[in-house]
Amino acid sequence: MPTPLKVAVIGAGLSGLIAGRELERESHEVVVFEKSHRLGGVWVYDPRTESDLLGIDPDREIVHATIYKSLRTNSPRQIMGFSDYMFEGKEYGDPRMFPGHQEFLSYLEDFAEKFGVTKLIRFNSEVTRVELLDATNEFVVEWKTKGVSSSEVFDAVVVCNGHNSQPRAALDIPGITYSTINHALTSYGPV
């Protein structure tokens, strides 16, 4: 049997939860870093919107929300879920074929609790730096919790922070300025 590794997983969304569970099943020592106060990643609804919808202002308050209040999945519940923990058959108050984001978040919370992943998560811990130490082939992971920085050495790092955390917009379109795009975006208000 291979030697267990000390592994950092960055992000407690769907991918981070699965990575944490599978690594622990293989007897590795796992720490899941989550910058927010709860698990779920993109499935956590936040009604706030950023003041700079294009993400150009580095001093803006960053709102990590990519879903809207009435979002329903585009996959039927019969094919959602994990092979050993099906979504179908779970009761979260809405029996329709295409579940809402609240239901899927409840499913993820139940999954994390059932498989012991919740206890691996360090909530309110934002990873600020990961560096490979050439001499030892280990990684130094730095994070902040309530403004206090800490660091720890890991044998491996799995990055599960998603690709939807920063807006991506084509700003180099002749005749279009940032203020024109920002005005168009803010004119419609939140969805």
Q: Tell me: the pLDDT tens digits for 91-132? A: 888 888 999 999 999 999 999 999 999 999 999 999 999 999
- pLDDT value at residue 174: 67
CA 23 – CA 15 distance, rounded (Å): 12
* Mean pLDDT along residues 43-58: 82
* Mean pLDDT along residues 8-23: 96
Dihedral sign, Cα of residue 158, residue 164, residue 165, residue 170: positive
- What domains does the chain contain, in order, with CATH numbers? 6-188 (3.50.50.60)
CA 9 – CA 22 distance, rounded (Å): 11
Tell me the percentage of the chain whose pLDDT exceeds 90. 60
CA angle 106, 45, 190 (to 5 degrees): 150
Look up residue 111 and give its two tokens: 């999954």
- pLDDT value at residue 49: 80
- pLDDT value at residue 57: 82
Q: Tell me: the pLDDT tens digits for 3-13? A: 899 999 999 99
Q: Tell me: the pLDDT tens digits for 128-170? A: 999 999 889 999 999 999 999 999 999 999 999 876 555 556 5
Question: In this structure, are residues 82 and 89 in contact, taking their beta carbons and an 8 Å threshold?
Answer: no
